[in-house]
Structure 1
Amino acid sequence: MRILVVTDAWAPQVNGVVRTFTRIREELHSRGHLVEVISPEGFRSLPCPGYPEIPLVVRPGRQLVRRIEAFAPEAIHIATEGLLGFAARRYCLRRGLPFTSSYATRFPEYVSARLPVPLSWGYAIMRHFHRPSRAVMVSTDSIRQELSARGFANLVEWTRGVDTEFFHPEAAQGRPDPFEGLPRPIYLCVGRVAVEKNIEAFLSLDLQQGTKVVVGDGPQLAGLRTRYPQVRFAGAQQDEDLARHYAAADVFVFPSRTDTFGLVMLEALASGLPVAAFPVPGPLDVIDGSGAGVLSEDLGFAIRQALAIPPTRCRTHALTYSWAACAELFLGNLAPIEPTTAAAQSPDLGFSGAV
């Protein structure tokens, strides 16, 4: 099958959307499917205010049309609700082509955390975006129930995976200890250093002993470094260096209340790290009942209790998630474009790609 994925998030950005679709593309290619990704690369764009590393595509219409029609997809998936995603949505609607979409980021909460915008406005836009989608893929049952209560339809579950060969408890063996000289235990947090990740809820805790370590980059990094000089901010880490940080830590702290899944939790578990988090969607779906972590509104309590969890229990739970199963779910959720439908479409040179 020729599968087109349209996403506003792609490398060099580092986030769950990018990691997920990178792995999904690899898995589907190995099964003989052809996956084309249309991302902001190659389009004229402007830096997103507050997030200069995130490009906002400017009027992608004609170029987007040419790239879609040159690829001639048999299924179209719109991964993000950004400007490129809206342009692809409009393309499909004008031509009567079915498409699927995914809800991977809580944009209403993210916007409300920065601007005086009611959540109801944000969710109204999200409902509008996803309403024509044949299947809105969500990562957990908690998110599915939450969106259903907010009036979303056509919701299907699409879980995530983790590379348990790459993220492994032995990833730090034979390599320099990234935490050498730091008081133990090491409380590790990995993610974007931004207000929506609620990192300060972790940094402000009085844990009495040990060292807090934050791996990641983002707009809050400079400010938090100044306010919390006792915290080790390791910056963004990639590939083997990231795996080494996981494997060398003692407990993984996930303070976010807005993630739809939290892929970093699986990476931590695969590395033998127990998880401490709030009892919210994402952690409730990944951790609750597994014995591989502790969920509590008292995050400090969760951290202290999680330290007693054996690494083997965490690793065993991570082994139940695979990218192969994730790819199969994604493939099964797609809405194939019938050849007669595609052939009936005529070029629309007036398409502008405006939202």
Structure 2
Amino acid sequence: MKILMLSDVYFPRVNGVSTSIRTFALALARMGHGVTLVAPEYEDRGPAVAVDDGDAFELIRLPSRTIFFDPEDRLIRRRSMRTALGRLAVRSWDVIHIHTPFRAHQLGVWLSQASGTPTVETYHTYFEEYVGHYVPWLPSAITRVVARRLSRRLCHDVDHLIVPSQQMVDVLERYGVGTPHTVLPTGIELDEFQGGDGARFRSRHDISASRPVLVTVSRLAVEKNIGFLIDVVRRLVSQFPDLLFVIAGEGPDAPRLKKLAADLVERGHVRFFGNLDRRHELLDAYRAGDAFVFASPTETQGLVLIEAMALGVPIVSTAVMGTAMVLDGARCAVVSEEDVEAFASHTAALLRDPARREALSAAGPQDAAAWSSETVMTRAQALYERLAYGERPWLAEAASHLNEASSRTRPAPRRAVADPARR
């Protein structure tokens, strides 16, 4: 199959969406499909976040500009969209897979309308919970209404949705989204999360082998709830005087978090490491931890939890939205409510019990096996084939919607979309 993927974000921008797209593209390419990814161009490609996939799939970069309220991200320029429309429209595609709701969405829907190619879009991000952090000058009630309305409109533009968790499906149904959907988490490249040397990381950064270490890997953003984990560490240091909390990642909330943790940083209990090389030092950082801690309430899936599982790092985490799906039935994790005292109590008990940590560590790779990209991509391939070669699923499902005694909004009919480069 010839698969066109479109996204407003990709490496070197480090986040879960970039990781998810790369996993999809690599797995599909290994299955013999032709994959083309269109993504923004970044002018600041740092070596710590560079990803070299060789000739695995075609990557087309479009000129872009920064966004004043979100300097990490890029917005594809309108002129480059016009050029891309011409280049892509003359090629033949079996399916168009859209990953983000901005210029990539516009481009994908326009191409679909022009060529009749079916579209699928992944709802990666719980925008209702995110948007207020980026436009804090607007009342939260307004941003939530806007996020819900925009989600409905965008979801009804496409033939099918991929939603990473049932919890996110429930949210979209509350919005009134009736577009046919498939629950399909991304999974991870298990081969890339083998090995790692915690002793090497500790030695490199002068961390004693006997020192208790907690690790988190995350984009440093308000919605990731890292401030909560810092409060947990503050509660724990009285019980573990030499405790160290390793924070790997970068993001717009870094200045606030460093200020919040300033006393702990000064006393040597918290260290910020920024983005680490995903093939080497990041694996070492995971493995250096006696436990991996996580408390984000807005994940649509929580890929870092699966990465920690694969590397055999015991987990202490809340279980909300996508993390609830990942941790359901997991034998390698301790689940806590989002309460500082309770989370600290669970973590302290684990730090005091080497035998339990060893048992959780041994279960991790077995739990992660269920999330291998190969397992997940078999389902993705079947979905693509249904869209490309079979009856459009939304046509068949529309009839069943008519017979449902439900007040949910039915999918709006797809409509012609103007060339977004001319808007």
| Superposed pair shares fold, TM > 0.5 | yes
Identity of counterpart residues, as a percentage?
Answer: 27
Q: Which has the larger radius of gyration?
A: 2
- 1:93 deviates by 3.5
Aligned position for 1:149:
174
Q: Choose from 147, 153, 167 the match for 1:128.
A: 153
Deviations along 1:13-46, whole A, 9 cap, x unmatched? 1122212221222221222210000111343322
Rounded Cα–Cα distance in structure 1 between residues aligned with 2:349 and 2:67:
40
Q: Does 1:162 align with 2:162?
A: no
Deviation at 1:306, TM superposition (A): 4.8
Letter in 1 for 2:206: E
Deviation of 1:11 (Å)? 1.5
Deviation at 1:285, TM superposition (A): 0.7
Asked whether the 8 Å contact 2:198–2:289 carries over to 1, the reply is no
- Give the superposition deviation at 1:324: 0.8
SS of corresponding position for 1:188: strand
Name the stretch that deviates more: 316-325 or 178-187.
178-187
RMSD value, Cα? 2.5
SS at match of 2:122: strand
1:152 Cα offset (Å):
1.9
Compared CA separation, residues 352 and 86, structure 1 to 2 (3 A): closer
Instruction: Tell me how far 1:101 sits from its aligned partner.
Output: 0.4
Please identify which structure carries the higher helix content. Answer: 2
Matches within 5 A, 1:52-131: 52-59=71-78, 60-93=80-113, 95-114=115-134, 115=136, 116=139, 117-131=142-156
CA change 1:301–1:128 in 2 (3 A) is farther
Give the 3-state SS of the residue equivalent to 2:22 in structure 1. helix
Unaligned 5+ residue runs, structure 2?
A: 42-60, 265-269, 393-415
Specify which structure has the bigger relative contact order, considering alpha-carbon pairs within 8 angstroms and separated by 6 or more residues.
Answer: 1
CA distance in 2, matches of 1:179, 1:320: 34
Equivalent residue letter for 1:148: E
Give, as a single letter, the amino acid of the residue that structure 2 aligns with 1:223: R
Q: What is the Cα deviation at residue 227 of structure 1?
A: 2.7
d(CA) in 1 for partners of 2:350 and 2:86? Answer: 52
Shift of residue 317 of structure 1? 0.7
Assess, with a 3 A threshold, how the Cα gap between structure 1 residues 120 and 300 changes in structure 2: closer, same or farther. farther
Higher mean C-alpha displacement, 75-84 vs 292-301: 292-301
Unaligned runs of 5+ in 1: 342-347
114-123 or 297-306, which deviates more: 297-306
Q: Is the 8 A contact 2:250 2:275 kept in 1?
A: yes
Query: What is the DSSP-based 3-state SS (H/G/I as helix, E as strand, rest coil) of the residue aligned with 2:236?
Result: coil
Number of corresponding residues: 346
Matched position secondary structure for 2:193: coil
**Which residue pairs with 1:344 in the alignment?**
none
Q: Distance in 1 between matches of 2:206 and 2:90?
A: 53
Distance 1:193 1:66 in 2: 38
- Deviation for aligned residue 1:179: 5.2
Q: Secondary structure at the match of 1:214?
A: strand
Residue aligned with 1:320, SS: helix
Decide which moves more: 158-167 or 274-283.
158-167
Task: Using the TM superposition, give the Cα deviation of residue 166 of structure 1 relative to its aligned residue in structure 2, in angstroms.
Answer: 2.8
Q: After alignment, is 279-288 or 50-59 more displaced?
A: 50-59
